[in-house]
Structure 1
Amino acid sequence: MNKILDFIDLTKGEDEKQVVLENVKSNISFRGANLWILACAIVVASVGLNVNSTAVIIGAMLISPLMSPIIGAGFALGIYDFGLLKKSLKNLLIATFVSLAVSTIYFYLSPFKETQSELLARTSPNIYDILIAFFGGLVGVIAITRKEKGNPIPGVAIATALMPPLCTAGYGLAIGNLRFFGGALYLYTINCVFICVATFLIVKFLKYPRIKTFEKAREKQITYAISILTIILVLPSIYFAYTLFEERKFDQKVSTFIQNEFVDNGFTVIYKKTRFKTNPKSIEVAFLSKKFTDFEKVELNQKMKIYGLANTELKIRQDTTNLKQDILNQIKNEKTNLNEKDVLISSLKKEIQDNKYDNNSLLAEAKILFPSLTDISISNHPFNSGKEKIEIIPVVIYTSTKPLSTTDAEKLTLWVKTRIKKEKIDVFWKNS
């Protein structure tokens, strides 16, 4: 047992407590160089979030000095140094306001305001973010108390991720989205508090000398205050984690339902959108050619219960035009000359045949502009545009390794219109 305790003993390799405290105090202040480094790191992180580059975001986290005042606050609580606590919190507030100001200005001036996945990931914190902050903070403070600092410090800067939430909060302010701002600021607060709590626990465990001595009752009050703050932050994150878990389960059930009922039956799904937070939940799908009757729709909605998709509505988007029936109805109701209809049908067939496209050439050209494309095909389809008028509209279906961004999708549509000299086309993406 002694060997095991000796093996996990944290006091081994520990630096002198006074030296550690001096190092912590010296890195708290945000003035001069530290402030400039912070502002530059915020700009780098904002650019990374703006262009959805994980590597750039990681680089910004490595150069950020934001963690120092949080560690200082944890040490101050552990040794009851309220002067150090006040200084740490003051510098943390300065750093936070500077970071928010710089990121808000950047995103306000940036011409690209699309909400990238890296930004979205920082708007809905959950219990896992608490675990990352807490254990990342433990690693950070343990490394700080060692004689040999080693490699953990850069890893802690990346894991605890203080910069991206602040930049995301600035993005929320810049575009006027208070939900993004609140979610990102909540994640930032979680990270700060749990790094501080982890530091407090390690300082207590390593028995750093107290600056002030209080009565037991006063110490309990301080401990209770920390505990209450921790619980207040933990409870919403548990709810968010539960919601995330339920949403992932819902998405998985939807994928199974679509695979079994549509894809395995040979129907090509060209569009899918799910809504988890509505009541009832909904699944919206569209198909390349298959049309479902009202009876089939009712049957499919009933089948969803088998897949655990109760309280979920299936919406099928499809062209309700039936050219054959429309023509027959016109013949019956308006007593139109059958020969005129034959001429109409023949002219439609001829127009469809005359407008054939060289898909191979189109793909070769398109891949130069959009490298992620793997296939593209265009074919003409008749659509009833109302008032007894039938139009031939080119339908474009492309496949790619990943969905094109909104900007690239618009560029592709404009390019195809120019290339085939058509004003009106329909474009659909199919997963490759």
Structure 2
Amino acid sequence: MDKQQTHTLWQIVKYYFNVMPDKEDESLTVSQINSGISFHGANLWVLIFAIFIASLGLNVNSTAVIIGAMLISPLMGPIIGMGLAVGISDLELLKRSAKNYLVATGISVLTATIYFLLTPLNEAQSELLARTSPTLYDVLIALCGGAAGILAISTKGKGNVIPGVAIATALMPPLCTAGYGLAMGKAQFFFGAFYLFFINTVFISLSTFLGVRMMHFHRKQIVNASRVKVVNRYILAVVVLTMLPASYMTMKIIGKSVADNNVRKFVKKECTFPGTQVVSQSTDDKTLNLVLVGKTISNNQIDHMRSMMGEYQLGGYRLNIIQGSQSDSVLIAQTLNSANSNTEASKQKIMEQSARIQALETRLEGYERYTLMSAEIGKEASTVWPDVMGISLTRASEWKNDSTRTSQYVLAVVGCKRTLGANERARMQSWLKERTHADSVRLVVTR
């Protein structure tokens, strides 16, 4: 590609991506941002009501209500103001933006704290819990949201970008969650949510600063190169320090996701046996717990499963198999913990269902016991009675018209080459009764 073609390609790219022709008058942009910085009068009341709405949404776990609160929140103003102030070297604007930012933050947390102290609903819902563990993805969201925001404010075709930025960056819910942490005395909730809010603040301001410089906003006053370098160093230091904890949390989340994916693959491919089902899987302190129901798997199969864990990058994990009667207890505990069973009636229902399942399993085991015993007893019987060809054992019940209850016994069907005499039949019936440990045995001999 020659120099002329390269120049033509650059002109095409510049035509599509250059925002300077759409740039609004700088004075109008600065004036618009200035008007949204201060919090007093109606603007302050709108902030308080938005906090109440967001707190209600978090309390009842309503995403629609939370989005509505983010749309009416004026919190974005001082954050963009700080980025603009650094970008145009306006110290007075920076001071005023920072002051209003601190006032708005304090009032927001105080309002949310008062709400959660008064509300009778104290349980942390999923929407609230989602704001307690910020990651590097929140940094990227804040960066992209702030970039879209400053572009929308600084250009003529603003469209409906600002409401979308307010929803994407989600400034209100973290402050409400911080208020919940204070009200409930949960430091982890407070610091996790406030850190998420601080991430949004820093990187929305950073995007605003970068956008202002890329669009060549004029600095308010001439500053020397050394002063600019000092400011840039401070900005870089704040950005790096803010990103470090989020990066650590992100690496932990990614590591956990990879491990969970490996566990799913391992369970799907190595823990599938006929008549056995994995009903629960969990990892706890490098231990993989599997709860199995159905046919009990052998120790050899368990050893094989353990030997295959290294193939799925699970070599550092210990495999714990829970099956048989032990799995019933674990399933009951999991059901009680996961189900919404706060009332005694619902807990009692779960316990009754569990007792019924155990009773049915006991009955089923009684029927299967004689079926599995047939092969073993058949070999012994053919040694004592060489003419015996096969034995079938089963549990049977009988009801008589003159009785109020049914009687149970073991029915033994014996295939024989010849007809057995009365003494042989009696001796075989007695032997089967002893061998099966049954109260009553009925013998049927077929040829």
Normalising by structure 2, report the TM-score. 0.70
The answer as to 2:422 corresponding to 1:417 is no
Q: Distance in 2 between matches of 1:246 and 1:25?
A: 44
The answer as to 2:326 corresponding to 1:317 is no
The answer as to 2:230 corresponding to 1:245 is no
Query: How many Å apart are 1:282 and its aligned residue?
Result: 2.0
Structure 1 segment 354-393 matched on structure 2, within 5 A: none
2:220 is matched with 211
The answer as to 2:92 corresponding to 1:92 is no
Query: Which deviations, in whole Å up to 9, do the C-alpha atoms of 1:285-342 show, x marking residues without a partner?
Result: 32334445666544433332222112112233345579xxxxxxxxxxxxxxxxxxxx
1:142 is matched with 151
Q: Distance in 2 between matches of 1:110 and 1:314?
A: 44
CA contact (8 A) 1:262 1:269 kept: yes
Query: Which deviations, in whole Å up to 9, do the C-alpha atoms of 1:29-75 show, x marking residues without a partner?
Result: 11121221112212222222222222222111111111110000011
- Specify the SS of the correspondent of 1:315: strand
Task: Give the residue type in structure 1 aligned to 2:65.
Answer: V
CA contact (8 A) 1:61 1:162 kept: yes
Structure 2: gaps (5+ residues): 1-9, 359-447
Query: Which deviations, in whole Å up to 9, do the C-alpha atoms of 1:127-154 show, x marking residues without a partner?
Result: 2111110111000011011233211111
Q: Distance in 1 between matches of 2:277 and 2:176?
A: 40
- Specify the SS of the correspondent of 2:21: coil
Query: How many Å apart are 1:9 and its aligned residue?
Result: 1.9
| Pair 1:409–1:426, CA change in 2 (3 A) | farther
1:302 is matched with 307
Q: Distance in 1 between matches of 2:352 and 2:20?
A: 75
The answer as to 2:65 corresponding to 1:63 is no
Residue among 188, 205, 226 paired with 2:197: 188
CA contact (8 A) 1:268 1:288 kept: yes
Q: Distance in 1 between matches of 2:190 and 2:357?
A: 34
2:52 is matched with 43
Task: Give the residue type in structure 2 aligned to 1:417.
Answer: Q
CA contact (8 A) 1:107 1:113 kept: yes
1:120 is matched with 129
| Pair 1:252–1:106, CA change in 2 (3 A) | same
CA contact (8 A) 1:78 1:203 kept: yes
| Pair 1:95–1:259, CA change in 2 (3 A) | same
CA contact (8 A) 2:271 2:305 kept: no
The answer as to 2:15 corresponding to 1:10 is no
1:19 is matched with 28
Q: Distance in 2 between matches of 1:104 and 1:406?
A: 29
Q: Distance in 2 between matches of 1:253 and 1:93?
A: 45
Structure 1: gaps (5+ residues): 323-380, 384-394
Query: How many Å apart are 1:208 and its aligned residue?
Result: 1.8
| Pair 1:417–1:25, CA change in 2 (3 A) | same
| Larger deviation, residues 235-244 vs 59-68 | 235-244
Residue among 286, 289, 295 paired with 1:284: 289
CA contact (8 A) 2:292 2:324 kept: no
Q: Distance in 1 between matches of 2:40 and 2:339?
A: 41
CA contact (8 A) 1:396 1:426 kept: no
2:88 is matched with 79
Task: Give the residue type in structure 2 aligned to 1:37.
Answer: V
CA contact (8 A) 2:178 2:193 kept: yes
Residue among 178, 181, 192 paired with 2:187: 178
- Specify the SS of the correspondent of 1:273: strand
CA contact (8 A) 1:74 1:199 kept: yes
% identical aligned pairs:
42
CA contact (8 A) 1:25 1:72 kept: yes
Q: Distance in 1 between matches of 2:103 and 2:339?
A: 37
2:382 is matched with none
Query: How many Å apart are 1:96 and its aligned residue?
Result: 1.0
| Larger deviation, residues 8-17 vs 88-97 | 8-17
Query: How many Å apart are 1:217 and its aligned residue?
Result: 0.5
Q: Distance in 2 between matches of 1:243 and 1:200?
A: 31
Structure showing greater radius of gyration is: 2
CA contact (8 A) 1:417 1:424 kept: no
- Specify the SS of the correspondent of 1:238: helix
| Larger deviation, residues 148-157 vs 117-126 | 117-126
Query: How many Å apart are 1:426 and its aligned residue?
Result: 8.8
Task: Give the residue type in structure 1 aligned to 2:237.
Answer: I
Residue among 224, 235, 243 paired with 1:226: 235
Q: Distance in 2 between matches of 1:171 and 1:48?
A: 13
Q: Distance in 2 between matches of 1:225 and 1:319?
A: 62
CA contact (8 A) 2:169 2:200 kept: yes
Q: Distance in 2 between matches of 1:265 and 1:30?
A: 68
The answer as to 2:196 corresponding to 1:166 is no
1:344 is matched with none
Q: Distance in 1 between matches of 2:51 and 2:222?
A: 40
Query: How many Å apart are 1:397 and its aligned residue?
Result: 12
The answer as to 2:165 corresponding to 1:156 is yes
| Pair 1:404–1:59, CA change in 2 (3 A) | farther
| Larger deviation, residues 252-261 vs 110-119 | 110-119
Query: How many Å apart are 1:92 and its aligned residue?
Result: 0.8
Q: Distance in 2 between matches of 1:195 and 1:163?
A: 14
| Pair 1:112–1:268, CA change in 2 (3 A) | farther
Q: What is the aligned length?
A: 348
Give the root-mean-square deviation of aligned CA atoms. 3.1
The answer as to 2:340 corresponding to 1:408 is yes
Q: Distance in 1 between matches of 2:118 and 2:322?
A: 39
- Specify the SS of the correspondent of 1:73: helix
